[in-house]
């Protein structure tokens, strides 16, 4: 019972009170859509009248496209995918600081009142789930609005030209209507990323844990390997679009394993940690 009451407290203080952050996320996704339209314009300049209005599937793929596999070439230095990186850095920022600050502030009273450190921890895990859910809900709302303005179809089918517009590379298969694995994997892997960061923020404090998140996302974009979570967050590397792309099953297993490890390790950590500092520096 206490778990739900703490969760209600968290939803009020860690989500509702931070509505401005979600407004900023909405503004960011507007820019993301603008980038997609800019990519279409550039494509149309080369291949006139070959691209019609986007579908909802196109917009989703565009917002989370990432980059195709990077192969080192001295004449082509690595250029990190800023749009993709920022998308997930924002999701990670949303879920970074509140739990730690809460535990060292008013959360102390909640933990004692709830008689359970574990309850507090589970409530924070569910809060991450809710925050990520809202993040994607905001994204979905902005994409739908953009689609309305663009006059596109509300279907999850991806237009055959879209992978070309987004420069997914030569190995594009183009499977219209097949982005469901990606739609499941995106929130799942984001939750895994944020829960891992949440656990690390308790162990090494929030700022270093954010550095780890930036590094993980960067390395994921640099190396195409099934062991780096960020690879599953890119449409451009998904098996939905390219041969030899990142598979749904592997992604789900990795994300699931990270979620379990983070929750279990975090639970063990919270159970033994001393709640001492009133407020940490960073």
Element (H, E) at 33: helix 19-46
CA 2 – CA 162 distance, rounded (Å): 48
36: CB partners within 8 A, 6+ apart: 54, 58, 59, 62, 63, 166
Instruction: Give the binding range for another protein (CB under 8 A) out of 104-112, 134-142, 182-190, 247-255.
Output: 104-112
Give the one residue of 23, 34, 260, 264 binding another protein; rule: CB under 8 A. 34
Closer by beta carbon to another protein, 211 or else 249: 211
Based on the shown chain and the rule CB under 8 A, indicate whether residue 257 belongs to the binding site for another protein.
no
* 80 contributes a contact to another protein by CB under 8 A: yes
Using the minimum distance from each CB to another protein, give the nearer residue, 9 or 136. Answer: 9
Site for another protein contains 155 (CB under 8 A): no
Among 11, 22, 30, 108, binds another protein (CB under 8 A): 108
Nearer to another protein, 85 or 156 (CB): 85
Instruction: Please list the alpha-helical segments (H only) found in 151-234.
Output: 162-165, 180-204, 206-222
* 23 is a site residue for another protein (CB under 8 A): no
Residue 126 three-state SS: helix
Among 20, 49, 71, 74, binds another protein (CB under 8 A): 74
Nearest distance, CB of residue 166 and another protein, angstroms: 11
* Residue 274 found at the interface with another protein (CB under 8 A): yes
Is the Cβ of residue 93 or residue 232 nearer to another protein in the bound state? 93
**Distance, C-alpha 258 to centroid of its chain:** 14
Degrees, nearest 5: CA angle 126-131-134: 125
Structure tokens at 241: 């679009």
Angle between the N-to-C axes of helices 56-63 and 117-150, in degrees from 0 to 180, rounded to the nearest 10: 130
Contact predicate 61/235, CB 8 Å: yes
Is residue 105 part of the contact set for another protein (CB under 8 A)? yes
Rg (Cα) of the chain, in Å, rounded? 20
Closer Cβ to another protein, 34 or 141, answer by number: 34
CB nearer to another protein: give 3 or 184: 3
Closest contact distance (angstroms) between CB of 112 and another protein is: 5
Residue 214 lies near another protein (rule: CB under 8 A): yes
Among 23, 112, 173, 203, binds another protein (CB under 8 A): 112
Instruction: From residue 166, give the alpha-carbon distance in Å to each of 43, 141, 257, 265.
Output: 9, 22, 31, 39
Q: List, as one string, the DSSP characters of 70-111.
A: P--BTTB-----HHHHHHHHHHHHHTTSHHHHHHHTTHHHHH
The one among 23, 82, 257, 260 contacting another protein by CB under 8 A: 82
Q: Site residues (CB under 8 A) for another protein? A: 2, 5-6, 8-9, 12-13, 17, 28, 31, 34-35, 38-39, 41-42, 72, 74-75, 77-83, 85-86, 89-90, 93, 96-97, 101, 104-106, 108-118, 206-208, 210-211, 214-215, 218-219, 222-223, 272, 274-276, 278, 281-282
């Amino acid at each position: 019972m206490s778990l739900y009451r703490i969760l209600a407290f968290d939803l009020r203080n860690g989500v509702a009170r931070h509505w401005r952050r979600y407004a900023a996320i909405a503004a960011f996704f507007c820019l993301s859509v603008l980038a997609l339209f800019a990519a279409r314009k550039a494509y149309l300049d080369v291949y006139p009248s070959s691209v019609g209005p986007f579908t909802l599937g196109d917009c989703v793929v565009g917002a989370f496209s990432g980059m195709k596999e990077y192969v080192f070439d001295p004449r082509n230095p690595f250029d990190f995918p800023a749009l993709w990186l920022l998308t997930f850095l924002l999701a990670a920022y949303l879920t970074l600081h509140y739990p730690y600050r809460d535990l060292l502030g008013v959360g102390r009273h909640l933990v004692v009142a709830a008689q359970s450190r574990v309850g507090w921890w589970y409530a924070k895990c569910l809060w991450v789930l809710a925050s990520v859910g809202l993040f994607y809900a905001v994204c979905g709302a902005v994409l739908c609005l953009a689609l309305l303005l663009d006059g596109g179809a509300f279907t999850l089918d991806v237009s055959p030209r879209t992978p070309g517009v987004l420069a997914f590379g030569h190995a594009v298969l183009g499977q219209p209507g097949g982005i469901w694995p990606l739609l499941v994997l995106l929130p799942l892997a984001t939750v895994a990323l944020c829960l891992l960061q949440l656990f690390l923020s308790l162990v090494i404090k929030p700022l270093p844990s954010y550095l780890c998140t930036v590094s993980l996302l960067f390395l994921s974009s640099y190396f195409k390997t099934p062991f780096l979570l960020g690879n599953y967050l890119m449409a451009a590397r998904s098996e939905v679009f390219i041969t030899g792309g990142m598979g749904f099953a592997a992604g789900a297993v990795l994300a699931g394993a990270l979620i379990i490890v983070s929750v279990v390790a975090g639970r063990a950590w919270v159970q033994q940690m001393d709640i001492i500092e009133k407020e940490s520096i960073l």
